[in-house]
A and B are shown apart, each in its own frame.
Chain A
């Protein structure tokens, strides 16, 4: 991990196209301004991990799951 220390207002450049600016520091919160081309995806890490985890969880372990889901769906729908 590369560790840098920046002051308020200073900037970090990642590659040629991404910059991160320290906009505000308040207590233990830091507000960052990130400029990047539209094709560079930026995520809060915990959100990225949650989605990755959910994708992994959702990946089918067996083909039959779809039919089980369909049956469950249909049974719920048929309830009065």
Chain B
């Protein structure tokens, strides 16, 4: 009798994802990000793939949900756009150096008005690839922090200006 197929993590097949919105792609199992609690408002969205930026000239990456293939977000590294942001996060017992931080970006009809949710960043432990959406309810950060100065640039609070690079 044939033995049942056994797969170890190293040889596990990549997970195929078919999305009408985002196309078809494969995610190696060891590249999955696990969000056991999902995201706030999306408790069933547990496994994600962080895809590289489609264009290297912009700081955006796509965070696509493997469990719900039509669900996806644009994310950025908030520290890259707002140096010092990471210092505002509460201490992490696993060690801050092991934490990757992402901010979800909302892109409205006019992309110039895009904003980052700095009040609720995603934090992922790089060693375990397990993450969650953190809520920084301190009054210091906005759920809609503008990425671009909208012409006259007075919306960003002093000290939180995006860095022009």
Where the two chains meet, the residues of A that have a C-beta atom closer than 8 Å to any C-beta of B are 41, 43-44, 47-48, 50-63, 65-74, 76-77
Q: Which residues on the A side are within 8 Å of B60 (C-beta)? A: 66, 69-70, 73
A-B contacts, 21 listed (Cβ < 8 Å): A47-B135, A48-B135, A50-B143, A52-B41, A53-B41, A55-B41, A55-B42, A55-B104, A55-B117, A55-B120, A56-B41, A60-B73, A60-B74, A63-B72, A67-B54, A68-B111, A70-B60, A72-B114, A73-B57, A74-B55, A77-B164
Choose among B54, B106, B107, B148 the residue that contacts A54 (Cβ–Cβ < 8 A): B106
* B residues near A60, Cβ cutoff 8 Å: 21-22, 72-74, 107
Would you give the shortest CB distance from A8 to chain B, in whole angstroms? Answer: 25
B47 within 8 A of A: no
Which of these, B53, B117, B147, contacts A58 with CB under 8 Å? B117
Closest 3 CB pairs of A and B: A52-B41, A70-B58, A72-B111
Main secondary structure of the interface of A (DSSP, over half): helix
When A55-B39, A58-B117 are in contact, do A71 and B23 touch as well, CB less than 8 Å? no
Q: Does B71 lie at the interface of the complex (its beta carbon under 8 Å from any beta carbon of A)?
A: yes
Say yes or no: B117 contacts A66, CB within 8 Å.
no
B111 lies within 8 A of A69 (CB): yes
Measured between beta carbons, the chain A residues less than 8 angstroms from B41 are: 51-53, 55-56
Interface residues of B in 88-138 (CB under 8 A from A): 104-107, 111-112, 114, 117, 119-120, 133, 135, 137
For A51, the chain B residues whose CB sits under 8 A away are: 40-41, 117, 119-120, 133, 135, 143
Min CB gap B150→A, angstroms: 10
Residues of A within 8 A of B111 (CB): 65, 68-69, 71-72
- Chain B 40-66 per-residue mask, 1 if CB under 8 angstroms from chain A, else 0: 111000000000011101111010000
Which A residue sits closest to B132, measured CB to CB?
A: A41
Whole-angstrom distance between the Cβ of B113 and the nearest chain A Cβ: 9
Chain B residues with CB below 8 A from A61, complex form: 21
Docked complex Cα distance between A7 and B54 (Å): 58
- Indicate if the CB atoms of B107 and A74 lie closer than 8 Å: no
- By beta carbon, the residue of chain B nearest A63 is B22
CB distance from A2 to the nearest CB of B (A): 23
CA distance A77 to B53 in the complex (A): 17
Q: A51-B133, A57-B106 are in contact. Are A76 and B148 (CB under 8 A)?
A: yes
